[in-house]
Chain A
Amino acid sequence: MGSKVQDLTRQNTTPASSLENWRRYNAENAKLDPEFTVGIFGTFTTNTVASHIGSKLAYLADKIVRVENGSFQQQYALINNYQSEFSHDASHLVLLWRVEDLVQLDLINYLNGSDLALSTIEESLAPLFIGIQAWGAENPTLIVSVCEVHLPESVNQNSTVIQGRFLNLQNLMQSKLSACIRGKSNVSLTSWSSMLRDTRHSENRDRRNLELFHDPFTSETSLAIGVSLAQSIFGQALAINKKVLILDCDNTLWGGVVGEVGVDGIELGPDSNGWYFKLFQHEIKSLKERGVVLALCSKNNIDDVREVFASNKEMVLKWEDFVAHEVNWDSKPSNILKISKQLNILPDDFVFVDDSIFEISTVVAAISDVCAIQVPNIPSEIPGILSVSPFFKSTGHSTEDSNRTDLLISENSRILAQQVQQSYEEFIQNLELAISVRPIKIEDIKRVTQLINKTNQFNLTSIRRTEIQVQKLLGQPGVRGYIASARDKFGAYGSIGVCIIVDEVENLFLDSFLMSCRALGRELEFVFLDEAIRQYGDTFKQIKAAFNPTKKNAPTSNFLIEYGFEPYESNENQFLLTGTASHNRAGHIVTEHQHE
Chain B
Amino acid sequence: MYALKMMDKIESVLRKVLEIEQDQSLADLSLGTWKNWDSLATMQIVIALEETLEIRFLSSEISQFVSYEDIVRVISER
Contact = CB atoms under 8 A, between A and B. Distances in A.
B59 A19 contact: no
Given A209-B43, A211-B59, A212-B63, 9 more contacts: A15-B51, A16-B47, A16-B48, A16-B50, A23-B19, A27-B19, A45-B40, A47-B43, A208-B59
Interface string B15-46: 01101000000000000000000011011100
20 contacts: A14-B51, A15-B47, A16-B50, A16-B51, A19-B47, A19-B48, A20-B48, A23-B16, A23-B17, A23-B19, A45-B43, A47-B43, A48-B43, A48-B47, A208-B57, A211-B59, A212-B63, A213-B40, A215-B43, A219-B47
A213 B39 CA distance: 8
A441 to B, nearest CB: 46
A219 B49 CA distance: 12
The 4 residue pairs across chains A and B that have the minimum distance between CB atoms: A16-B51, A16-B48, A219-B47, A213-B43
A212 B44 contact: no
Contacts of A19: 17, 44, 47-48
Nearest to B61: A208
A47 B19 contact: no
Contact of A208 (B17, B48, B58): B58
Nearest to A48: B43
Interface in A199-215: 208-209, 211-213, 215
A16 B19 contact: no
Interface residues of A, number: 17
A208 B65 CA distance: 15
Interface string A9-47: 000001110011001000100000000000000000101
Q: Is the interface of A mostly helix, strand, loop or mixed?
A: helix
B11 to A, nearest CB: 15
Q: Which of A14, A27, A47, A219 has the most CB of B within 10 A?
A: A219
A212 B59 contact: yes
Contacts of B48: 16, 19-20
Interface of A: 14-16, 19-20, 23, 27, 45, 47-48, 208-209, 211-213, 215, 219
A264 to B, nearest CB: 54
A286 B62 CA distance: 50
Nearest to A51: B44
A536 B31 CA distance: 62
Nearest to A208: B59
Contacts of A47: 40, 43
A23 B36 CA distance: 12
A356 B18 CA distance: 47
Contacts of B57: 208
Contacts of B17: 19, 23
A16 B59 contact: no
A163 to B, nearest CB: 29
Contacts of A212: 43, 59, 62-63
Contacts of A219: 47, 50-51
Contacts of B19: 23, 27
A208 to B, nearest CB: 5
Contacts of A20: 16, 48
A559 B17 CA distance: 52
A15 B17 CA distance: 13
Nearest to B40: A47
A169 B5 CA distance: 51
A149 B17 CA distance: 30
A76 B16 CA distance: 35
A458 B47 CA distance: 49
Nearest to A19: B44
Contacts of B58: 208
A159 to B, nearest CB: 28
A70 to B, nearest CB: 14
B61 to A, nearest CB: 10
Nearest to B47: A219
A219 B47 CA distance: 7
Contacts of A15: 47, 51
A14 B44 CA distance: 13
Contacts of A48: 43-44, 47
A45 B47 CA distance: 15
Contacts of A209: 43
Q: Which of B42, B44, B52 has the most CB of A within 10 A?
A: B44
B27 to A, nearest CB: 23
A14 B50 CA distance: 11
B58 to A, nearest CB: 7
Contacts of B47: 15-16, 19, 48, 219
Interface string B64-77: 00000000000000
Contacts of B59: 208, 211-212
B52 A16 contact: yes
A27 B19 CA distance: 10
Contacts of A208: 57-59, 62
A438 B44 CA distance: 54
A45 B40 CA distance: 9
A512 B47 CA distance: 47
Nearest to A223: B47
A211 B39 CA distance: 13
Contacts of B44: 19, 48
Nearest to B18: A23
A395 B35 CA distance: 42
Nearest to A27: B19
Nearest to B59: A208
